[in-house]
Structure 1
């Protein structure tokens, strides 16, 4: 285990965790900047999300089986 950091000073428990996160973040930013796909306007994204929320609230639609690209290793759906 590495050097323990104060929770007042850092949100990471160790220097190694902080370094690992910083490397991950730099890679994500670099990949995002290198992405050549066209940007999706905020209003378009919000309209799609609001329609999905409306379907969920109304109990309609097959939102549970909707396909999202999963980011490898993140555990989060994007």
Structure 2
């Protein structure tokens, strides 16, 4: 196993870099072949904003009840 320079690569060896490259290419291939309809970016962001808002409400309620 040959080590890679941390300045040049985030991987500890050439084998690890090759493993990651295979994994990444498989994920891209699977995504390209996925037949489900695409979701617009704005729709995803709106859904995430709602999830975050609800989570923040839960945390605020939890903090309010623990402070009393």
Q: Distance in 2 between matches of 1:34 and 1:20?
A: 21
TM normalised by structure 2 equals 0.80
Between the two structures, name the one with larger relative contact order (CA 8 Å, sep ≥ 6): 2
Q: From the CA coordinates, give the structure whose radius of gyration is larger.
A: 2
Q: Distance in 2 between matches of 1:58 and 1:14?
A: 45
Gapped regions of structure 1 (runs ≥ 5): 61-78
Gapped regions of structure 2 (runs ≥ 5): 60-68
TM normalised by structure 1 equals 0.70
1:40: Cα distance to partner?
A: 0.4
User: Partner of 1:53: helix, strand, or coil?
Assistant: helix
Moved over 4 A (4+): none
Higher helix share: 2
2:6 matches 1:10 = no
Q: Distance in 2 between matches of 1:51 and 1:9?
A: 39
CA RMSD of aligned residues (A): 1.3
Q: Number of aligned pairs?
A: 59
